[in-house]
Amino acid sequence: MIKVLFVCLGNICRSPLAEIVFNNLIQQASLSTHIQCDSAGTASYHIGSLPDRRIRQIGQEKGLVLTHRSRKLAGDDFYNFDYIVAMDEANFEDIRNQSYRSSGFYFPEDRLFLYREFDSEVQASDPREHFSVPDPYYEDIVFFEEVYRIVERCGTRFLEFIIEKNNLKR
């Protein structure tokens, strides 16, 4: 079983949306017996909370029900997950630093990603800030819709990457 963890700051907007969208893509590809995913936050602001109501609304409009309860990234996650995917640069660095504090080693670079590294609309030559999934928390519902489009694009390409890297058959 290949395990993927999506991580943002509070685990109530971007990462639970990335989780549910990716789970949906896994099911559509008939790979549920091969790939599993979860989400977490680098901060403990919302532990136990449902995703933000606006992200749940966007999910519902797309036929997805977000029931994940927010949790904080834990030391065991570095052993239990094959891939960890950060929503932005700050969380990427927090994940790296926490992996070292938790285990004495940095989580392997070939298994830790910024999600937008898989965005077909972002080029390798783009400025580093283009590699962040924007945090819509303080924004209008329109920004939540944009985050949905981003995580869907990234999820499609990330799933292709996992299939190829792990020689999975659909």
Options 52, 77, 119, 135, the catalytic residue: 135
- pLDDT band at residue 23 using 50, 70 and 90 as cut-offs: very high
Q: What CA–CA distance (Å, rounded) separates 111 from 4?
A: 9
Options 8, 13, 37, 154, the catalytic residue: 8
Task: Report which DSSP code applies to 68.
Answer: -
pLDDT at res. 127: 74
pLDDT at res. 63: 96
Task: Report which DSSP code applies to 84.
Answer: E
Say if residue 20's pLDDT is above 90: yes
- pTM for the whole thing? 0.96
CATH of 2-165, picked from 3.40.190.10, 3.30.420.10, 3.40.50.2300, 3.30.1510.10, is 3.40.50.2300
pLDDT tens digits, one per residue of 75-118: 999 999 999 999 999 999 999 999 998 888 889 989 999 999 99
pLDDT tens digits, one per residue of 115-168: 999 999 988 778 777 789 999 999 999 999 999 999 999 999 999 999 999 999
- pLDDT band at residue 29 using 50, 70 and 90 as cut-offs: very high
Q: What is the DSSP string of 120-147?
A: TT--TTS-GGGGSPP--TTS-HHHHHHH
| Integer-rounded Cα radius of gyration of the chain | 15
pLDDT at res. 102: 85
Can 14 be counted among the known catalytic residues?
yes
Q: What CA–CA distance (Å, rounded) separates 27 from 65?
A: 14
Options 14, 54, 116, 153, the catalytic residue: 14
